[in-house]
Structures are given as structure tokens and as C-alpha cells.
């Protein structure tokens, strides 16, 4: 009877949610269509900056760089002192290139230093939370190597905005939410609370918001480029002259001076030694589709690991968002994220993380065998992939002791939903669409997608320097808060312990997918530790359930918290599951019986941004979820 009942529920769910059962699905936002180019990012003004570059003859990389500059200037959950992660498809070489624009821990940033201050983790805001700035450098390197336009042309929209643009209500709300922190940093206070003669010194929605120090910094970069061009240097060398002025000249000197003035650690030498890295991404195939991600200094490989685990299952007959389907995704993610939490970190620091072994399909088969099909397992642990590469695990002793659930809590977690603890959280979930101040687990960024008729395709997830942000002196640029993603105790993750010159393992994760060896999808999303979860479901929505890009962006997702948060106190909540309000009662009841503790939100999709190349018609489809203000323009 139980088998028959589950099959019936899966059929009902499939009939309810699978697009093949309806003539045309309705979305809150229309899908975008374009023949020549497409630009999508977190704000309408940001997308407009990208469109301007296409109109000037630029390619997708030029457009992405202009969008990056614009959204940094708008503080769209990031700032100029943050970091950039990108995947670029170059149609001239037919290769995918990874861009590592993540800053590093500065001089003096050691585990002992933070422990001496009574900290369990590096702080989540302020000067001590800052790694070296990566957004300016990544923008200039991408532009120099893969773009067509000058730095002056690409920065022009951002410079116009720094000179004054109508500030949107969302940013004003974030300024108010972060007021207590912002006012303790003198340069931040001057930028975000300019009206000292008013009871409310913050800007009002629609007011012209000016950032004249930032404008002066961007002008210095343009001046360096133009001076180099006049001296006879070529386009690329001229852009890199601006790069040098930032990291080795007067801009970097002021950045470092002001960071230290306010209690931070970044030195001018830290900036001079830092560089953008171009690297080969990693990939896997899922039912013939090749998916590319950045390496294990991001959480990107966790998506590939999850796809490897899921590839051996028949997902579509389970029914979209049926209890069986949700449980399957949750358990597969548990296995991949447990590996993320133990093995991922900066690959430039020894010992080498076993990434090839983690992505081995035979390893995925072994992990798949651990799934409990009847109940959530709150104590899923990292595997030992070293047997698949013939090497010895250097941290086997730490691995054997590692757990996400203290022993005294295991019984309570296993009993959740069957009597004792309430299976539903009281009140609404912690974060709903439109909230200006997400909790740490959801802390995000923006996302940028661009593609053009010549074959260039780029996916970017920049971040860092979100509000409340500490402005670095007269540069006008907000510093990163990425130091908090390190750990101080090797028992938590021996590959991600803070030390000078090291990059923290970040949540930021652009994606490219290829079908029949040709570029097909570029997609990414903001949202901290939820990013790979949302991208996994977006991808499966298209591949398994035949959704359009826009349908897949808006579709009801799930959120798991059964992994260690990359922010704040690195909290983990085994068994907690956020669903959207539309999930039916019978699915909820099945999940409660399986040990999940549920909460609900109106929508839970990201916000995802994506571009799909339609191989049949040679056109672009674009999508931006209805979760936030993400916006695209196509032509």
C-alpha cells in the first residue's frame, strides 16, 4: 500500500508540475529573446550599462565588465573592493577560461592572530574582515585579454553613476539597516549619510546619490590608460597600466593606508603582490551535457559532485517537487556539501585537495549507496576519495572525528517529525523575497550573464563589499568581508585555515554548460550557501522537466541548511528545509515523516540569471527570476 500510495503521489505531482501537462506555462517575468546579444544582471541600470557596450561594438566580455562596474557602483550587494569569479567561453580558441579574481588574506592574518582576539572565526564585517580587493583587477584583466573596448568606454556608465544617479529604495533600506555599523567607520559615514543637517542623514529613494571619491578613483584609472595610449602602448598594455596604478601606485597606497588606519591588516605590499589568475576550470557530464565550474577555491565543484550522484537515478518519473524528488536532491546535496565543508580550499596551498578524485564518477557511485531513502540522515559526513587516486589521506584522523551533529543531538534530530520537536518552524522563514538584510546563510552578491552572436559567452558572480561596508579612505571603495569564510581550526576544514596570501573558499559560482560540444547555457545566482542548490535545481528544471529558461528561473526551489554556513558563526542545521508556499499538503506530510523540519517562503529561486543559446534557431533565450530586481536586455 505504501509503494502504491507513493507512486500515486508522484503521478499527481508530475501531472501538477510537469510542463508537458500544460499548454503554456505562465511566468511573472517574460522570457527575454535576442538575435545579436544579451546582457543580464542584478539591476536594470546595470543591464543598461552592458547594452551600451554592445551598441558601441563591444563583445560579451566588454558588456560584462561594464555591468560589473555599474553594479559595484550601485552597491548591488557588492562593492568595488570585493571579488570577481568568472567563466568565459572564447569562440576563437574554443576554450573555457576561469577567472580567479578573489583576494587573499593579508599580512598578519593568521589563525593565532584571530584567536588572540577571542574569535572563533574571522569577523564578518569591518577592516579585519577584508581580503585584498579583486573586482578592479579582475575587470581590467578580463577586459584587456578578451574585450574589444577601452577601459574609458567600459567605465563610462559607472563613472556617470558615481557622479550621481537616482538611488533605488532597496539600497536606501540597506543603508538604514546597516546604520549602526556604517556610522562607526568615518569614510562610510561620509558616503552613506551625507545630509548632516537632517534628522535622517541617509539619501531618500530617487534622490541623486553622489560618490565623488569613487569617481576620482575611476578617473585615475582612465587617466593611466589614456596616458599609456598617448605614449604608444597598445590597448592591452594601456589597460594594464591602469591595473598597475591601482595595485602598485597611489590608489593602492591610499587603500592600504586607510585600511590600517581603521584597524585592518592590508598593506601596500599585499596589493602589489596580488594578481588575477586565469585557470582551467573543472567539469563533469550529466546525461551528455558538459557542465563547467571553477575549482575548489569556490564551492562550484559541489554542483558537479551532486550531478554525478544524481546521474545514476531516474528523476523525471519522481515528479517535480514530489516528496521523493525533494528527498533525493536533499540527500545528494548532503553528500556533496559534506565533502565541500572538509576538502575545499585554495589549491595553491599544500596539501593538494583531492579534487579529481572527488569528481570521479565511481566515487559518486560509492557516495550514492549511502543515501537513506526513508529518512533524512542528519549525520552525513565527508567521504574518503583518496582511494580513487591512489594517494593517502593526510587528514584521516580529522576525517574520522568530523561530524555536523554533536552526538548528544543525534537522537533528537532522528526523532524530528515523529513526535517530540515541532516539524514546522514557528512563524515565517528567516528570509523572504524583498528583505533588505538577509541572514548570513543567504548573503550574496549579484550575478552577470552576457552572450553575443560571435560566440562569446560569460558568466560572472562578483561579490564582497556589501552593506554595511567599510569604505577604504579617499578611494571611495568598500572593502571585502570575505575573511569570514576561512576557519581557524583544522578539524573543521584543514584545507581552508586562514594564512597570509591564501584565498578563502568562497560560495561564488558561475556556470557554463555545453550540449554537443557547443555552448548552450550560462547561469549563476546570488545567495551565499544557497547558490549551488538553486543552480542545481535550475539546471534539472530544464534538463529533466523541459522548462524554458524563465520558467526554470521562477520555479519553486528547496533550500537545505545541512551544510556549514560559510559566514558568521558557520552554523549548520541538519534536517531544516525551506519550501515555497505552493508545495501541497501531502508533500509536506511525507517530508515531515522523513524527518524534515519545514518552513515556507513565497518564492525561493535565487535570484537566478541565465542565458540559453537556442541551437535550432540560433537565437538567445534569457531569464531572470522573480525573486529580486535582476533584469536583462536583449537585441
Secondary structure letter of residue 288 according to DSSP: T
Q: Is residue 130 pLDDT above 90, yes or no?
A: yes
Whether residue 486 is preceded by a cis peptide bond, meaning omega within 30 degrees of 0, is no
Secondary structure letter of residue 75 according to DSSP: T
Give the pLDDT band (50/70/90) at residue 120: very high
Residues constituting the chain: 635
Structural domain includes residue 67? no
Q: Is residue 432 pLDDT above 90, yes or no?
A: no
Which H or E run includes 499?
none
Q: Residue 136 to residues 141, 243, 364: CA-CA distances in angstroms? A: 9, 8, 38
Cell numbers representing residue 574 in the block: 541538519
Antiparallel, parallel or unpaired: β 559-560 and 84-90: unpaired
State pTM to two decimals. 0.92
Percent of the chain scoring above 90 in pLDDT: 85
How does pLDDT run across 394-423, given as a tens digit for each residue?
999 999 999 988 665 444 444 443 333 345
CA 391 from chain centre, in angstroms, equals: 32
The 3-class secondary structure across 209-271, one letter per residue, is: ECCHHHHHHHHHHHHHHHHHHHCCCCHHHHHHHHHHHHHHCHHHHHHHHHHHHCCCCCCHHHH
CA distance linking residue 36 with residue 450, whole number of Å: 11
CATH code for position 7: 3.60.20.40
Which H or E run includes 620?
strand 619-624
Whether residue 469 is preceded by a cis peptide bond, meaning omega within 30 degrees of 0, is no
Least trusted range by pLDDT, from 27-31, 61-65, 338-342, 457-461: 27-31
Do 208 and 215 meet the contact criterion of CB atoms below 8 Å apart? no
Do 585 and 62 meet the contact criterion of CB atoms below 8 Å apart? no
Q: Is residue 428 pLDDT above 70, yes or no?
A: no
Structural domain includes residue 126? no
Backbone angles phi, psi at 597, to 5 degrees: -110, 115
Spell out where 53-175 has E strands: 84-90, 95-101, 165-166
The 3-class secondary structure across 476-521, one letter per residue, is: CCEECCHHHHCECCCCCCCCCECCCCCCCCECCCCEEEEECCEEEE
Backbone angles phi, psi at 67, to 5 degrees: -65, -40
SS3 61: helix
21 against 323, higher pLDDT: 323
CA distance linking residue 515 with residue 525, whole number of Å: 21
Do 414 and 375 meet the contact criterion of CB atoms below 8 Å apart? yes
Least trusted range by pLDDT, from 17-21, 374-378, 564-568: 17-21
Antiparallel, parallel or unpaired: β 608-614 and 619-624: antiparallel
How does pLDDT run across 251-292, given as a tens digit for each residue?
999 999 999 999 999 999 999 999 999 999 999 999 999 999
For 317, the domain range is 2-31+280-437+509-634
The 3-class secondary structure across 450-463, one letter per residue, is: EEECCCCEEEECCE
Least trusted range by pLDDT, from 11-15, 116-120, 167-171: 11-15
Structural domain includes residue 356? yes
Number of domains within the chain: 1
Structural domain includes residue 475? no
What pLDDT, on a 0 to 100 scale, did the predictor assign at position 441? 52
> What mean pLDDT is predicted for residues 62-72?
98
SS3 427: coil
Structural domain includes residue 186? no
CA distance linking residue 213 with residue 590, whole number of Å: 56
CA distance linking residue 250 with residue 206, whole number of Å: 34
445 against 586, higher pLDDT: 586
Least trusted range by pLDDT, from 203-207, 243-247, 436-440, 571-575: 436-440
Structural domain includes residue 48? no
Secondary structure letter of residue 149 according to DSSP: S
Any idea of the CA torsion for 373, 378, 382, 387, to the nearest 10 degrees? -40
Angle between helices 323-343 and 585-593 (to 10 degrees): 50
10 Å CB burial of residue 444 (0-12, 13-18, 19+) is buried
How does pLDDT run across 548-564, given as a tens digit for each residue?
999 999 999 999 999 99
Q: Is residue 460 pLDDT above 70, yes or no?
A: yes
Q: Which residues contact 551 (CB under 8 A, 6 or more apart)?
A: 19, 25, 27, 541, 623
Structural domain includes residue 10? yes
33: left (phi over 0), alpha (psi -120 to 50) or beta: beta
SS3 196: coil
* R_g over Cα of the chain: 24
CA distance linking residue 626 with residue 604, whole number of Å: 9
277 against 3, higher pLDDT: 277
Q: Residue 294 to residues 155, 344, 632: CA-CA distances in angstroms? A: 26, 12, 24
Structural domain includes residue 243? no
Amino acid at each position: 500500500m505504501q509503494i502504491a500510495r507513493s507512486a500515486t503521489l508522484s503521478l499527481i505531482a508530475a501531472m501538477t508540475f510537469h510542463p508537458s501537462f500544460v499548454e503554456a506555462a505562465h511566468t511573472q517575468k517574460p522570457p527575454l529573446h535576442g538575435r545579436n546579444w544579451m546582457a543580464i544582471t542584478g539591476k536594470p541600470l546595470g543591464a543598461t550599462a552592458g547594452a551600451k557596450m554592445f551598441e558601441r561594438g563591444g563583445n560579451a566580455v566588454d558588456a560584462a565588465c561594464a555591468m560589473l562596474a555599474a553594479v559595484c557602483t550601485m552597491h548591488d550587494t557588492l562593492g568595488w573592493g570585493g571579488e570577481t569569479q568568472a567563466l568565459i567561453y572564447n569562440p576563437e580558441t574554443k576554450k573555457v577560461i576561469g577567472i580567479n579574481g578573489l583576494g587573499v588574506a593579508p599580512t598578519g592574518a593568521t589563525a593565532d592572530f584571530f584567536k588572540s582576539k577571542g574569535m572563533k572565526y574571522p569577523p564578518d564585517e569591518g577592516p579585519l574582515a577584508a581580503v585584498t580587493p579583486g573586482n578592479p583587477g579582475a575587470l581590467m584583466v578580463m577586459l584587456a585579454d578578451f574585450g574589444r573596448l577601452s577601459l574609458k568606454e567600459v567605465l563610462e556608465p559607472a563613472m556617470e553613476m558615481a557622479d550621481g544617479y537616482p538611488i533605488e529604495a532597496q539600497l536606501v533600506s540597506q543603508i538604514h539597516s546597516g546604520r549602526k555599523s556604517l556610522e562607526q567607520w568615518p569614510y562610510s559615514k561620509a558616503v552613506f549619510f551625507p545630509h548632516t543637517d537632517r534628522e535622517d542623514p541617509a539619501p531618500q529613494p530617487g534622490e541623486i546619490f553622489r560618490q565623488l571619491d569613487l569617481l576620482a578613483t575611476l578617473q585615475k584609472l582612465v587617466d593611466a590608460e589614456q596616458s599609456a595610449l598617448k605614449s604608444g602602448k597598445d590597448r592591452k598594455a594601456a589597460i594594464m597600466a591602469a591595473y598597475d596604478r591601482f595595485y602598485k601606485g597611489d590608489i593602492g597606497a591610499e587603500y592600504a593606508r586607510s585600511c590600517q588606519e581603521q584597524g585592518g591588516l592590508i598593506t601596500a605590499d599585499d596589493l602589489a603582490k596580488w594578481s588575477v589568475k586565469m585557470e582551467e576550470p573543472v567539469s563533469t557530464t550529466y546525461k551528455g551535457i558538459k557542465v563547467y565550474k571553477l575549482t575548489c577555491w569556490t564551492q562550484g565543484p559541489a554542483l558537479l559532485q551532486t550531478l554525478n550522484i544524481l546521474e545514476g537515478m531516474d528523476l523525471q518519473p519522481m515528479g517535480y517537487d514530489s516528496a521523493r524528488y525533494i528527498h533525493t536532491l536533499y540527500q545528494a546535496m548532503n553528500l556533496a556539501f559534506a565533502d565541500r565543508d572538509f576538502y575545499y580550499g585554495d589549491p595553491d596551498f599544500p596539501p593538494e585537495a583531492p579534487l579529481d578524485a572527488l569528481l570521479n564518477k565511481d566515487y559518486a557511485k560509492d557516495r550514492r549507496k549511502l543515501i537513506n531513502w526513508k529518512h533524512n540522515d542528519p549525520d552525513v559526513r565527508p567521504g574518503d576519495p583518496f582511494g580513487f587516486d591512489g594517494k593517502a589521506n593526510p587528514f584521516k584522523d580529522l576525517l574520522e572525528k568530523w561530524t555536523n551533529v554533536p552526538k548528544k543531538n543525534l537522537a533528537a534530530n532522528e526523532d524530528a517529525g515523529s513526535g517530540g520537536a515541532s516539524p514546522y518552524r514557528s512563524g515565517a522563514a528567516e528570509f523572504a523575497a524583498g528583505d533588505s538584510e538577509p541572514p548570513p546563510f543567504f548573503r550574496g552578491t549579484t550575478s552577470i550573464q552576457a552572450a553575443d552572436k560571435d560566440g562569446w559567452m560569460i558568466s560572472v558572480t562578483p561579490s564582497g563589499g556589501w552593506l554595511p561596508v567599510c569604505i577604504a579612505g579617499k578611494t571611495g571603495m568598500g572593502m571585502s568581508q570575505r575573511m569570514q569564510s576561512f576557519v581557524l581550526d583544522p578539524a573543521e576544514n584543514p584545507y581552508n585555515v586562514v594564512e597570509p596570501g591564501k584565498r578563502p573558499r568562497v560560495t561564488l559560482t558561475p556556470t557554463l554548460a555545453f550540449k554537443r560540444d557547443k555552448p548552450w547555457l550560462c547561469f549563476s545566482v546570488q545567495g551565499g550557501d544557497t547558490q549551488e542548490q538553486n543552480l542545481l535545481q535550475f539546471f534539472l528544471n530544464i534538463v529533466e522537466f523541459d522548462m524554458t529558461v524563465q520558467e526554470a528561473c521562477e520555479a519553486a526551489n528547496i533550500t537545505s541548511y545541512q551544510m556549514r554556513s560559510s559566514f558568521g558563526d558557520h552554523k549548520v542545521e541538519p534536517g531544516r528545509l525551506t519550501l515555497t508556499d505552493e508545495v501541497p499538503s501531502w508533500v509536506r506530510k511525507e517530508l515531515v515523516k522523513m524527518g524534515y523540519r519545514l518552513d515556507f517562503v513565497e518564492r525561493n529561486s535565487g535570484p537566478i540569471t541565465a542565458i540559453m543559446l537556442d541551437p535550432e534557431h540560433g537565437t538567445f533565450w534569457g531569464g531572470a527570476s522573480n525573486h529580486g530586481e535582476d533584469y536583462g536586455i536583449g537585441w
